[in-house]
A = this chain, B = another copy of it.
Amino acid sequence: MVTTATDVAPPGNPYRDGCPSRRILDRIGDRWTVLVVGALGDGSVRFSELLRRVEGISQKMLTQTLRGLERDGLVARTVFPEVPVRVEYRLTHAGRTLREPLTALREWAVAHLGEVSTSQAAYDTGA
């Protein structure tokens, strides 16, 4: 059987060039989305708290990532007009559905860390 991009996957086919599902995969595939979604967890989390939870993320990237997720309807942003201002983020229902696949990914990464590192070392030595 000869398989092509046309029939290798169901409708909403990310293998197709123009398919919008590509864009979604691209967004998930940025440096921080996976971690930010994970860091949000079940609760409402403040901006500064997220900044602390996701080590190494800059304030600019956290803002940008949150805006993207908000635009996608995956994160809700609430401003409490106190002084000083308090802003909390939490996953929407749709956002929570994303947690499962992303958690699986993170767990895969952690579980196969050693295996992958070993393989890399062997490859670099000149396999």
Alpha-carbon gap, A100 to B115, bound state (A): 18
A56 in the interface, Cβ–Cβ < 8 Å? Answer: yes
Scan A108-123; emit 1 where CB is below 8 A from any B CB, else 0: 1111110111111011
- Is A71 a contact partner of B119 (Cβ separation < 8 A)? yes
Identical copies of this chain, number:
2
14 contacts between A and B (CB under 8 A): A5-B54, A14-B35, A14-B109, A21-B106, A21-B113, A24-B113, A25-B109, A29-B29, A29-B31, A71-B119, A94-B116, A94-B119, A102-B105, A104-B104
- Is B21 a contact partner of A52 (Cβ separation < 8 A)? no
Query: Helix, strand, loop or mixed for chain A's interface?
Result: helix
- Is A35 a contact partner of B24 (Cβ separation < 8 A)? no
Given A53-B4, A71-B124: A15 in contact with B31 (beta carbons within 8 A): no
Given A8-B39, A38-B9, A52-B5: A28 in contact with B105 (beta carbons within 8 A): yes
